[in-house]
Chain A
Amino acid sequence: AQSVAQPEDQVNVAEGNPLTVKCTYSVSGNPYLFWYVQYPNRGLQFLLKYITGDNLVKGSYGFEAEFNKSQTSFHLKKPSALVSDSALYFCAVRDRKNRGSTLGRLYFGRGTQLTVWP
């Protein structure tokens, strides 16, 4: 069964410092992996995804994520955090099988609240 774990409910970091939001997954085969961000009172916004190829994926707003197959992880990173990065971050995984009830289906983690203080 597919599942996603975000082991930290909350991550706090000072502005200008690097940030990491962790994600591990469990899925049969090679997955598609996603990060989404939710700002207060808003819908989820797509940040980046890993499909194939280079393990380091670059996305919006200076974020990047590294796919590590041996550790089944897809941690989100940013070299220098901004106060405006404070939001709720969701990791999601999708099976490469794309038919029937798996069609387009994403499995989301429980979210990690990132707080960047000035």
Chain B
Amino acid sequence: DTAVSQTPKYLVTQMGNDKSIKCEQNLGHDTMYWYKQDSKKFLKIMFSYNNKELIINETVPNRFSPKSPDKAHLNLHINSLELGDSAVYFCASSQGVGGQIQVGTQYFGPGTRLTVL
């Protein structure tokens, strides 16, 4: 009954490789997000999707491409991985529209620790 799940939990790969991280939520939310948490624990938003439409696209290298096949899924594909991409990536979801009480609370997945060698 996990609310927001991510796979894989750990990802170790070589520079230059292409990798994907998957995210699924079973909360019925209409908005999903990707965050990057660096080694200093700073959280930076990367993307958000609402009903499969890209809403937030922060200054992120073009090597990062999100894909939302449906409202419950938001995957992150990374091309040509670099050392600086090593971080923990968190997926989150929230109800973007609707009543005041529901709006805004984001629920986070457990994170994917990416290590680029």
Contacts and interface: CB of A to CB of B under 8 A. Distances in A.
Interface residues of B, number: 29
B96 A103 contact: yes
B12 interface: no
Interface in B61-117: 90, 92, 94-97, 100-101, 103-111
A117 interface: no
Interface in B9-60: 31, 33, 40-43, 45, 48, 50, 55-56
Consensus secondary structure, chain B interface: strand
A104 interface: yes
B31 A104 contact: yes
14 contacts: A32-B103, A38-B41, A43-B111, A51-B100, A98-B97, A101-B55, A103-B31, A104-B50, A104-B55, A104-B95, A104-B104, A105-B45, A110-B40, A110-B42
